[in-house]
Amino acid sequence: MMPLFGNTFSTKKTPPRKSASLSNLHTLDRSTREIELGLEYGPPVMNVGGQSLKFEEGHWISESGDNVSGKDVQRLKKRNLQLEEENNLLKLKIEMLLDMLSETTAECHLMERELEEMKNHRKK
């Protein structure tokens, strides 16, 4: 049997694409390309919170020259540890105070209920 409108599954082949680049950088000489593309690059640099940092030898270093010394880092770590311990102690104290408040409130409600029962018993 012959199809009415011909073979519907045969498509025309598309012509191959031209590999012409849209960039004109390939027309520049080597020195101009290095300047344009930045092939002379240094370590990565970024700005965080108004402070410029540079990545060198696996560490981020401040470029402004006011690097924090090892002593300052140790002092800050020690102070941070002290504050964390103080914070934990204060959380524990708050928890104890809430437990005491809950216990006192429960006792107060119990006493009020007993007082009401005594009043009702007395009326009868």
Q: Please name the residues in contact with 33: beta carbons below 8 A apart, sequence gap of 6 or more.
A: 25, 39
The DSSP string of the chain is ---TTS-TT--PPPPPPP---S-SGGGS-HHHHHHHHT-S--S-EEEETTEEEEEETTEEEESSS-PPPHHHHHHHHHHHHHHHHHHHHHHHHHHHHHHHHHHHHHHHHHHHHHHHHHHHHHH-
**Residue 102 falls inside a structural domain:** no
pLDDT tens, the chain, 124 aa long: 555 666 666 667 777 776 656 666 667 676 776 766 666 667 778 887 677 778 888 877 777 655 566 677 788 899 999 999 999 999 999 999 999 999 999 999 999 999 999 999 888 7
**Residue 21 falls inside a structural domain:** no
Q: Are strands 51-56 and 45-48 parallel, antiparallel or unpaired?
A: antiparallel
**Residue 6 falls inside a structural domain:** no
Task: Tell me what pLDDT residue 26 has.
Answer: 64
**Residue 91 falls inside a structural domain:** no
β-strand partners of 48: 51
Tokens of 63: 């470029």
Which domain range does residue 36 map to? 30-65
**Residue 71 falls inside a structural domain:** no
**Residue 42 falls inside a structural domain:** yes
**Residue 99 falls inside a structural domain:** no
Task: Tell me what pLDDT residue 93 has.
Answer: 97
Task: Tell me what pLDDT residue 89 has.
Answer: 97
Q: What is the tally of structural domains in the chain?
A: 1
The pTM is what?
A: 0.42
